[in-house]
């Protein structure tokens, strides 16, 4: 692995982690909720963006691999929060909040898949 690839991932990761903190904090401050909506928001946004990026990469195959790595592995890898989603779901289950736990799991699972597909579809169909 080249040093350029490592720098691309590290710098993208710094941006993604910062975005994750800002989005999560903003949602949790401004939206009254019983579910971990900040985590859901970053997972949905990240899924939409990864769909859009992969469609863009599909249409622009000459893009350098370091740019793809910076955007997907770096920024989106740090932005999305599957491990946080997993532990938050576990804590909801452990606390006996079964309905909230399963709602959280379903919204994250199906919402992220739906938005990844939507992002991919939007870029492929509306950017020509």
Series of mean pLDDT values for 10-residue runs along the chain (128 residues): 96 97 95 89 95 93 94 95 89 97 96 96 92
Alpha carbon distances (Å) from 124 to 46, 52, 65, 111: 18, 8, 20, 20
pLDDT at 81: 82
pLDDT at 52: 95
Is residue 17 within 8 A of residue 74, CB to CB? The reply is: no
The pTM (predicted TM-score) of the whole model is: 0.84
Q: Please provide residue 81's backbone torsions phi and psi, each rounded to the nearest 5 degrees.
A: -135, 55
pLDDT at 27: 95
């Amino acid at each position: 692995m080249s040093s350029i690839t490592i720098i691309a991932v590290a710098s993208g990761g710094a941006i993604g982690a910062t975005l994750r903190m800002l989005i999560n904090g903003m949602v949790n401050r401004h939206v009254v909720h019983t579910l971990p909506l900040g985590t859901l928001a970053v997972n949905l946004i990240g899924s939409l963006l990864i769909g859009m990026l992969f469609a863009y990469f599909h249409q622009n195959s000459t893009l350098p691999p370091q740019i793809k790595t910076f955007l997907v592995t770096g920024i989106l890898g740090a932005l999305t929060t599957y491990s946080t989603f997993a532990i938050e779901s576990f804590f909801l289950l452990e606390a006996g909040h079964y309905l909230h736990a399963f709602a959280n799991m379903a919204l994250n699972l199906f919402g992220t898949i739906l938005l990844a597909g939507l992002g991919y579809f939007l870029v492929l169909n509306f950017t020509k």
